[in-house]
Amino acid sequence: MSAATPILFLLLLGAAVATRAQTAAEPPLRPEDTPALPAEEVAEETAAEPEPAEPEPPPGQPVATWLEAQVELHRRGFSCGSIDGVRGIQTATALTAWQKNEGLRETGDLDRATKAALLISAPALTEYAFTAEDSAATAPVPDTWLGKSELAALRHATPLEMIAERFRANPKLLVKLNPGVDWDDLLPATKLVVPSAEPVLAPGRVARIHIYLADKILQAVDETGRVLLHTPVSIARNVEKRPVGELHVTVVIPDPNYTFDPAVFTEVPEAQELGRKLVIAPGPNNPVGVAWIGLDRTGYGIHGTPDPEKVGRTESHGCFRLANWDARTLLRLAWVGLPVMVDE
């Protein structure tokens, strides 16, 4: 090693120490020392930051909201009507029926004991991609009976109506869950947030159906009296048209057609002008919806409806109306000869 080498090494070491000393001596930047961004750039950066999504509770956790409670009740066969995330009368009634089934105090509220027993089995919301087939399956529905009779099928009128029925949701909830979606121009592949409420019913065979006129509810029970299915139901407007006592199922028909009889709709001006019966094709917008469970009283049955938000709130001409999703579920459980008890 030459004599110059130690000298060079010392010079380099001194420079490094000086650099570190200078860096350590520099004060940290203060907010007022940071150059300000233009206002529009600040706004763009703020807008680009997504709001944190509420985490879904893991399976096995107590329900935390009314939306979760409604979805979980639907899964267990206790229909609240249209899922809307609000504790309405139908939700409270469904929860009370479930509490009774489980031997809990019947409060109709999400009290501590209820939350401990009503555990979420899966996230309450899921994602669904709207398809080209979905779009092709919608068509406007005429306002007149004659116009309806001229169609080959009474499909869903709009994509919003279709998705709402498919996922047991109130249309207002879907609009809220999907704020950026144009429902009037819903394109295929559009991803939607929807309730995940497909029912998984308790095992057992339905022994009888009870329809409680005063409460406007229908319950299908097994031979021990345990409720397998609970749903809201619409009943006849006129008291004299409400059958009370024991009836029996005579026929079970999915996707029925419907015969419009002007003699039944005396209050409808079009009916009097027509003066003849019309056959209305099957479909979700058929007057009896997607299911017909005929009873052993002429003209009476349990069926679906194209207006699920009206079930239990408005009245019928005499039959018992359920939301289409509940009518489909009951259709799978019903059998010819099944007793139907209609209680006041």
Q: What is the pLDDT of residues 49-105, one digit of tens each?
A: 333 345 566 678 999 999 999 999 999 999 999 999 999 999 999 999 999 999 999
With a cut of 80, say whether residue 6 has pLDDT above it: no
pLDDT of residue 237: 80
With a cut of 50, say whether residue 8 has pLDDT above it: no
Q: Could you tell me the CA-to-CA distances from 135 to 98, 163, 181, 190, 200 in Å, in that order?
A: 37, 11, 15, 11, 28
User: Residue 122 in contact with residue 198, Cβ under 8 Å?
Assistant: no
Q: How confident is the model at residue 122 (pLDDT cuts 50, 70, 90)?
A: very high
Q: Could you tell me the CA-to-CA distances from 114 to 98, 99, 170, 293 in Å, in that order?
A: 10, 7, 24, 34
Q: State in Å, rounded, how far the first CA of the chain is from the last one.
A: 112
**263-320 per-position pLDDT tens digit:** 888 888 898 899 899 999 999 999 999 999 999 999 899 999 999 999 998 777 679 9
Where b means 16+ CB within 10 Å and e means fewer, 135-156 reads eeebbebeeebeebbebeebbb
Where b means 16+ CB within 10 Å and e means fewer, 196-216 reads bbebeeeeeebebbbbbbebb
Please provide the average confidence, as pLDDT, over all residues in the chain: 85
Domain ranges of the chain: 66-117, 208-255+290-343
pTM of the model as a whole:
0.81
DSSP 128: E
User: Residue 312 in contact with residue 81, Cβ under 8 Å?
Assistant: yes
* Other beta carbons less than 10 A from residue 5's beta carbon: 9
User: Residue 261 in contact with residue 268, Cβ under 8 Å?
Assistant: no
pLDDT of residue 121: 95
CATH class of residue range 208-255+290-343: mainly beta
User: Residue 81 in contact with residue 128, Cβ under 8 Å?
Assistant: no
72: its two tokens: 């979980």
Higher pLDDT, 249 or 34: 249
Residue 3 backbone phi and psi in degrees, to 5:
-65, -25
Q: Which residues pair with residue 230 across a beta bridge?
A: 78, 219
